[in-house]
């Protein structure tokens, strides 16, 4: 059995959505970008080809709430950090029966029972005073952790990253 926290590939497959799409931006399919920046769990950023983020997930195979691990990470990688509010991070535990037969069997072998705990960070699009709608974008070109979150007007397809000034795609 794996050590506490690590999410094995079988459980990652069971957790992942099959058809994530970008809503209210480009309607193109989204990809789950797996990042190795946060141990021991599984950090995944769901973003469209234009860099618009729908949700960031961090999962650990553990009954413990991993919010305290994700919160400082996203704050450290978001410009400005004040965009990351504690109330926008939400916990969900997955027990097995809701993950399909293979994952259910896999999780049932572990005693005492251990759920997969996922924390979601979702920043909903918001309006600034002039009425412009802003939303969260991501750039993957930074350092070893290769991720930078920032906000830009939601009608831009690939806004430039404020750190590297390169367009997301």
Partner 1 sequence: MAEPKRLTIVLAPWCPHCEPLSVTEGNRLARRLKIPLRLLDIDHAAQEKEADRLVRRYGDSAPDYLIPQVFLEWSDGRVQHLLTGFSEEVPRTARAWADLLRSAWLRTLIRGASG
Name, in order, each residue with C-beta under 8 angstroms of 123's C-beta and a sequence gap of 6 or more. Answer: 53, 83, 84, 88, 135, 136, 151
Q: How many CB atoms lie within 10 A of CB 140?
A: 15
d(CA 63, CA 24): 34
19, 111, 130, 144: which one contacts partner 1 (CB under 8 A)? 19
18 counts as binding partner 1 under rule CB under 8 A? yes
86 within 8 A of 71, measured Cβ to Cβ: yes
φ/ψ (deg, to 5) at 16: -70, 145
Q: Which is nearer to partner 1, 108 or 166 (CB)?
A: 108
State in angstroms the smallest separation of the CB of 115 from partner 1: 9
Q: How many CB atoms lie within 10 A of CB 92?
A: 13
Q: Which is nearer to partner 1, 87 or 165 (CB)?
A: 87
State in angstroms the smallest separation of the CB of 54 from partner 1: 8
104 counts as binding partner 1 under rule CB under 8 A? yes
11, 89, 123, 152: which one contacts partner 1 (CB under 8 A)? 89
Q: Where in 108-137 is the site for partner 1 (CB under 8 A)?
A: 108, 120, 122
69 within 8 A of 58, measured Cβ to Cβ: yes
93 counts as binding partner 1 under rule CB under 8 A? yes
Q: Which is nearer to partner 1, 41 or 96 (CB)?
A: 96
Question: Which spans of this chain sit near partner 1 (rule: CB under 8 A)?
Answer: 16-21, 46, 54-55, 57, 67, 86-101, 104-105, 108, 120, 122
């Amino acid at each position: 059995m794996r050590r506490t926290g690590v999410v094995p590939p079988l459980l990652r497959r069971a957790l992942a959505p099959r058809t994530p799409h970008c809503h209210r931006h480009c309607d193109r399919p989204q990809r789950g970008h797996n990042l190795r920046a946060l141990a021991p769990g599984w950090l995944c950023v769901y973003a469209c080809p234009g860099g618009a983020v729908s949700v960031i997930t961090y999962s650990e195979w553990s009954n413990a709430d991993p919010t305290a691990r994700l919160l400082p990470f996203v704050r450290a990688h978001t410009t400005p950090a004040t965009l990351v509010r504690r109330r926008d991070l939400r916990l969900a535990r997955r027990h097995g029966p809701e993950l399909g037969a293979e994952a259910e069997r896999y999780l049932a072998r572990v005693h005492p029972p251990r759920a997969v705990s996922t924390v979601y960070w979702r920043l909903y699009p918001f309006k600034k005073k002039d009425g412009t709608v802003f939303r969260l974008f991501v750039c993957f070109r930074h350092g070893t952790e290769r991720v930078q979150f920032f906000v830009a007007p939601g009608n831009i397809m690939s806004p430039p990253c404020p750190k590297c000034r390169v367009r997301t795609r």
